[in-house]
Amino acid sequence: MKKFVSKMLAGALSLSMLCGVAAAEGETYVSWYTFGDVYLSSVRTALDAAMEAKGLTVVDKDSNANQQTQTDDINTALVTGANAVVVNLVESGAIGTAETLMNAIKEKDVPAVFFNRAVSTDNNEAAELFKGYEKSAFVGTDFTQAGIMQGKMIGEYVLEHFDEIDLNHDGKISYVMFKGDEANQEAIARTKYGVECADEVLTAAGKPALEFYDASSDKKYLVDLNGTWSNTASFDYMQTILAQYNEANGNMVELVICNNDDMALGAINALVNAGYNLPGGEGCTVIPVFGVDATDAAKDAISKGSMIGTIKQDAEGMAVAIASVVKAAGEGTAMADAVAATAGTNAEMYSIADGIANKLFVAYAAYTK
């Protein structure tokens, strides 16, 4: 019976490897929350290149936005001999999930690097998680900053162009907010601060705060119900909005704020279909649209005048940092020292979180025409 079970397990692992799930001995296993995210696709391309440049062999795996899939795949990779595990957590802010994965990686005594998506809603919990395993680190952003910077950018732009944005001349600016995911910590912060910080700029200058286009809404945002931050969700929402809220009815949405660039581009596509935000901007009204990430498509839209601005989340900077930390840790450097060394390569790009020596932040930057 024991021989039969062993054969069954061996067969299952062989099948997993054939399907591209497992990492062979000596390989770095990188688990992505989804391959469908535009920004993360740019990180993946940059990370594969950065890992290769450092002589590391990588196995990339798509979790398809399913936490159980990610957990199972990581466990399989550990069994088959991965020498490091890099995790883009599906359930952002889920400390219990992060702890489960960390414990499994710790048991195999290999480096663990979580990146991009927050592991907890509480900074103290996150600190304890990484302090609890000396071979672990987090590489990402101070996620509140994207929303804060976006909000300030929006406030300053609206203040400068208030009269032309105010299409119905009621002395107020109506907006729509597109949220990428209901539970994601980055989405929550961007949704909150993207409006609050814009309002601070406006009210300090004697202008009224922004008003959500639908006064009956309690949430003051529209969320991608699939949690994938997609342009499909924002396009569909915007199409529906424009059928009721438009210049002909005197209640046109005058400002579009998005958690990421992909959603911004979806909204722009709907606006273009309605005759707004045409490339070049000549002979049409441009509704200000703002995003986060500074993807190539968004930068192109900004250059053509269809989009106003975005907050750059540096894909290459994040990728280089992850590869540097993994390489150093794999060679026996203490993780905190690996993080410090990486931070020291570019003080403008990288910083270490207060009180957490193995948490590395990659800086955001404003991007406009």
More confident residue, 308 or 118: 308
Confidence tier at 72 by pLDDT (50, 70, 90): very high
Average pLDDT of the residues in 248-254: 96
Confidence tier at 161 by pLDDT (50, 70, 90): very high
| Residue 12 in this model has a pLDDT that exceeds 50 | no
First to last CA, the chain: 69
pLDDT of residue 25: 57
User: What residue type is 343 in one-letter code?
Assistant: A
Task: List the domain boundaries for the chain.
Answer: 20-133+315-348, 144-312
The single-letter DSSP state of residue 227 is S
| Residue 124 in this model has a pLDDT that exceeds 50 | yes
pLDDT digits (tens, 9 = 90+) for 171-189: 999 999 999 999 999 999 9
| Residue 8 in this model has a pLDDT that exceeds 80 | no
Q: How long, in residues, is the chain?
A: 369
What is the C-alpha separation between 352 and 362, in angstroms, rounded? 9
For domain 144-312, the CATH architecture is 3-Layer(aba) Sandwich (3.40)
Does 20-133+315-348 carry CATH code 3.40.50.2300? yes
Tokens 């915007």 correspond to 238
What is the C-alpha separation between 146 and 312, in angstroms, rounded? 9
pLDDT of residue 125: 86
CB neighbours (10 Å) of residue 292?
32
pLDDT digits (tens, 9 = 90+) for 129-150: 999 999 999 999 998 999 999 9
Average pLDDT of the residues in 326-339: 96
Above pLDDT 70, what percent of the chain?
93
Average pLDDT of the residues in 158-164: 98
User: What residue type is 213 in one-letter code?
Assistant: Y
Confidence tier at 51 by pLDDT (50, 70, 90): very high
Confidence tier at 22 by pLDDT (50, 70, 90): low
Tokens of 323: 């590869």
CB neighbours (10 Å) of residue 362?
24
| Residue 17 in this model has a pLDDT that exceeds 90 | no
| Inter-residue long-range contacts of 213-217, CB under 8 Å, 24+ positions, other chains counted | 213/174, 213/175, 213/176, 213/241, 213/245, 213/251, 213/253, 214/245
Would the CATH topology of 20-133+315-348 be identical to that of 144-312? yes
Residues 6+ apart with CB under 8 A from 264: 178, 234, 256, 258, 289, 290, 291, 298, 301, 307, 310
What is the C-alpha separation between 138 and 102, in angstroms, rounded? 12
What is the C-alpha separation between 114 and 290, in angstroms, rounded? 28
CB 47 within 8 A of CB 29: no
pLDDT of residue 174: 98
pLDDT of residue 21: 46
CB 223 within 8 A of CB 179: yes
